[in-house]
Amino acid sequence: MTWREAKHVLAAVAVVELMIGGAFFWAGMVLVLPFSGLEVLVLGLAFYHCLLRNARREVVRVDDGRVVIERGRSRMLESREFPRAWVRVVLEPGKGWYPSQLKLRSHGRELEIGEFLTEEERASLARDLRAVIRREGDGPDN
C-alpha cells in the first residue's frame, strides 16, 4: 500500500468512525466520540509504523573488487563495503520460531542483510550472492 492509498483508507475509516461517534454523542452518550477519535489516532499510528517499515531498502552491489551494501528509505543513509575476494555469504538457520539470518562476513566483520525477506527469498538471495561473488573478471554491476 502506498502512502496515498493509506491516507485514503484512513480518511474513509475516520469519517465512518467519527460519524458513528457523533451519532452516539447526539444521543447523549458523550464518551463514545472521544474514544472513536482515539481509535482513529491509534489506527493512523499503526498505518504510519507499518508503511515506514515497509519503505526500507537495501541495495547490494557487486563489482570487480568489492561488495557494497547500502541501506535507507527514500535515500541511502548507510553504506558498508567488503572486499569481494574475501567476503563470505553465510545463511545461518533459524532456531525455533526465529528466522534464519543472512550475513556477509570478511576480516572479522559481519553484516546481516535481508532481515525483512521471507525464508525462501533469503535463501534465494544467498544462492545468488554466492554465485555472483565467485565469478571472476566480470564488469561492474554484476
pLDDT digits over 2-29, tens only? 889 989 999 999 999 999 999 999 999 9
* Same domain (yes/no): 49, 61: no
Q: Residue 39 and residue 37: Cα distance in Å, rounded?
A: 5
Structural domain boundaries enclosing 113: 57-134
Number of domains in the chain: 2
Mean pLDDT of 22-39: 94
Question: pTM for the complete prediction?
Answer: 0.66
* CB neighbour list of residue 64: distance below 8 Å, 6 or more residues apart: 84, 137, 138, 139, 140
User: Is residue 139, in this structure, part of any structural domain at all?
Assistant: no
Tell whether 69 and 92 lie within a shared domain. yes
Please, are residues 136 and 127 in contact by the beta-carbon 8 Å criterion?
Answer: no
Overall average pLDDT of the 50-64 stretch: 88
Do both 39 and 65 map to the same domain?
A: no
Final residue before a domain boundary, out of 54, 72, 92: 54
pLDDT digits (tens, 9 = 90+) for 76-121: 888 999 999 999 999 999 888 899 999 999 998 999 999 888 999 9
Looking at the structure, do residues 127 and 72 belong to the same domain, yes or no?
yes
| Strands laid side by side in the 76-83 sheet | 57-62, 66-72, 76-83
CA distance 78 to 72: 7
Shared domain check, 46 and 62: no
